Amino acid sequence: MKPSSFRPGRLTEALRGRGRSEATLAAVVAGCVALMSVVVLTGAGAPDNGVKFAQSGHWVYNSVVGRIFHLDGSTGEVDADVEVKGTPPGAQVVQTDKQGYVLSRSRIDQFGKSDLTVLDPIEPPATNEQPVGLEGAGAAFAVYRQAGRVVRFGDQQTIAAPGGPLGDPVVTSDGTLWVHRVNDGNLCRLPLSADRMTCPATAPKGHKGGLSAVGTGAVFVDLTANEVYTLDSGGIGAKAGLGDVDVPDTALVAGNDVGGRVAIVDRDHGRLHLIDVSDKPKAPATTPLPKGSYDRVASSGDGLALLDRKNASLLTLDRDGREVGRTKIPQRPAGGRDKPESNLYRGDDSRVYVENGTGDRVVVVDRDGRTESVEVGPGDDRKATAKPTITPPVKPRTTIPPRTTPPKTTPPKTTPPKPPRSTPPSTRRPETPPPTRKTTPPGRENTPDRPRATPPKTTPPKTKPPTPPKPTAKPGRPGAPLNVSARFVDTDAVVTWGAAAAHGATITSYRLSWTGGSTTVSGATRSALIPGLKSSTAYAFTISAVNSVGAGPAVRSNRIERKWNPAESPRELLVKDDGTSGRLTLGWMQPTMGDGTFLRYEVAIGSRTAPPRVTSTSTQATITGLTDGTAYTFYVRAITRASDGQQVVGKYTSLSATSIAAEAPTKRVVASRGEGTTYGDNCRQPECAYIQIRLENLRPNTTYSMKPYTSEWGNFNPGYSTKTDGKGQLLVPDQFPCSAVGQLTWVTVTGPEGTYTSNKFFWKADD
Lowest mean pLDDT, pick from 17-31, 97-111, 631-645, 683-697? 17-31
Q: Looking at the predicted structure, is the pLDDT value of residue 191 above 50? A: yes
- Could you tell me the pLDDT band of residue 363, with boundaries at 50, 70 and 90? very high
Q: What is the pLDDT of residue 536?
A: 77
- Could you tell me the pLDDT band of residue 723, with boundaries at 50, 70 and 90? very high
CATH fold for the domain made of 36-47+480-559: Immunoglobulin-like (2.60.40)
Q: What is the pLDDT of residue 261?
A: 93
Q: Looking at the predicted structure, is the pLDDT value of residue 8 above 50? A: no
Q: What is the DSSP letter of 679?
A: B
Q: Give percent of the chain above pLDDT 70.
A: 78
Q: What is the pLDDT of residue 463?
A: 55
Q: What is the pLDDT of residue 469?
A: 58
Does 335 or 287 have the greater pLDDT score? Answer: 287
CA distances from 284 to 240, 243, 340, 618 (A): 12, 7, 37, 55
Section 300-326 average pLDDT:
92
Does 646 or 201 have the greater pLDDT score? Answer: 201
Cα(138)–Cα(541) distance, integer angstroms: 11
Cα(683)–Cα(680) distance, integer angstroms: 6
Of 318, 223, 325, give the one whose Cα is nearest residue 267. Answer: 223
Q: Is 196 helix (H, G, I), strand (E, B) or coil?
A: coil
The answer to whether 629 and 547 have CB atoms below 8 angstroms apart is: no
- Could you tell me the pLDDT band of residue 547, with boundaries at 50, 70 and 90? very high
Q: Looking at the predicted structure, is the pLDDT value of residue 349 above 80? A: yes
Lowest mean pLDDT, pick from 328-342, 540-554, 643-657? 328-342
Section 300-316 average pLDDT:
91
Section 273-284 average pLDDT:
89
Section 618-639 average pLDDT:
90
Of 241, 248, 281, 285, give the one whose Cα is nearest residue 263. Answer: 285
Section 127-136 average pLDDT:
92
Cα(668)–Cα(57) distance, integer angstroms: 53
Section 599-612 average pLDDT:
87
Q: What is the pLDDT of residue 534?
A: 78
Q: Looking at the predicted structure, is the pLDDT value of residue 255 above 80? A: yes
- Could you tell me the pLDDT band of residue 446, with boundaries at 50, 70 and 90? very low
pLDDT tens for 549-567 read: 899 888 888 888 877 888 8
Cα(553)–Cα(27) distance, integer angstroms: 31
Domain locations in the chain as residue ranges:
1-29+667-767, 36-47+480-559, 139-389, 564-665
Of 504, 431, 415, 404, give the one whose Cα is nearest residue 466. Answer: 415
Neighbour count for residue 562 (Cβ, 10 Å): 20
Q: Looking at the predicted structure, is the pLDDT value of residue 699 above 60? A: yes
Q: Looking at the predicted structure, is the pLDDT value of residue 6 above 80? A: no
CA dihedral (431, 437, 441, 442) positive or negative:
positive
Q: Give percent of the chain above pLDDT 90.
A: 34
Cα(425)–Cα(622) distance, integer angstroms: 92
Cα(47)–Cα(409) distance, integer angstroms: 72
pLDDT tens for 393-436 read: 333 333 334 444 444 444 444 444 444 433 333 334 444 444 44
Of 284, 300, 278, give the one whose Cα is nearest residue 25. Answer: 278
Cα(285)–Cα(164) distance, integer angstroms: 34
Q: What is the pLDDT of residue 675?
A: 87
Domain 1-29+667-767: homologous superfamily in CATH: Immunoglobulins (2.60.40.10)
Q: Looking at the predicted structure, is the pLDDT value of residue 287 above 80? A: yes
Does 80 or 508 have the greater pLDDT score? Answer: 508
Does 663 or 647 have the greater pLDDT score? Answer: 647
- Could you tell me the pLDDT band of residue 292, with boundaries at 50, 70 and 90? very high
Q: What is the pLDDT of residue 279?
A: 79
Q: Looking at the predicted structure, is the pLDDT value of residue 145 above 90? A: yes
Q: Looking at the predicted structure, is the pLDDT value of residue 454 above 90? A: no
Q: Is 421 helix (H, G, I), strand (E, B) or coil?
A: helix
The answer to whether 237 and 231 have CB atoms below 8 angstroms apart is: yes
Domains 36-47+480-559 and 564-665 agree in fold:
yes
Cα(465)–Cα(434) distance, integer angstroms: 11
Q: Is 407 helix (H, G, I), strand (E, B) or coil?
A: helix
- Could you tell me the pLDDT band of residue 525, with boundaries at 50, 70 and 90? confident
pLDDT tens for 37-61 read: 222 222 333 333 233 333 468 999 9
How far is the first Cα of the chain from the last one, in angstroms, to the nearest whole number?
27
Q: What is the pLDDT of residue 465?
A: 57
Q: What is the DSSP letter of 182?
A: T
Q: What is the pLDDT of residue 467?
A: 60
pLDDT tens for 79-111 read: 888 888 888 888 999 998 888 999 999 899 999
Does 592 or 459 have the greater pLDDT score? Answer: 592
Global pTM? 0.49
Task: Indicate the residue type of 511.
Answer: R
Q: What is the pLDDT of residue 546?
A: 93
Does 489 or 700 have the greater pLDDT score? Answer: 700
Q: Looking at the predicted structure, is the pLDDT value of residue 295 above 90? A: yes
Which residues have a Cβ under 8 Å from the Cβ of 507 and sit 6 or more positions away?
A: 478, 499, 500, 523, 545, 546, 547
Q: Looking at the predicted structure, is the pLDDT value of residue 21 above 60? A: no
Phi-psi region of 556 (alpha: psi -120 to 50; beta: other; left: phi over 0): beta
Lowest mean pLDDT, pick from 14-28, 63-77, 412-426, 662-676? 14-28
CATH fold for the domain made of 564-665: Immunoglobulin-like (2.60.40)
Q: Looking at the predicted structure, is the pLDDT value of residue 753 above 60? A: yes
CATH for 139-389 (3.40.50.300, 3.40.640.10, 2.130.10.10, 3.30.365.10): 2.130.10.10
Phi-psi region of 100 (alpha: psi -120 to 50; beta: other; left: phi over 0): beta
Q: What is the pLDDT of residue 483?
A: 83
DSSP letter for each residue of 578-616: --STTEEEEEEEPPP-TTSEEEEEEEEES-TTSPPSEEE
Q: How many residues does the chain have?
A: 767
Torsion from C-alpha of 576, 579, 582, 583, nearest 10 degrees: -20
Q: What is the pLDDT of residue 402?
A: 40
Average pLDDT score over the chain: 78
The answer to whether 541 and 513 have CB atoms below 8 angstroms apart is: yes
Cα(198)–Cα(196) distance, integer angstroms: 7
Lowest mean pLDDT, pick from 114-128, 257-271, 309-323, 370-384? 370-384
Q: What is the pLDDT of residue 763?
A: 87
Q: Looking at the predicted structure, is the pLDDT value of residue 742 above 50? A: yes
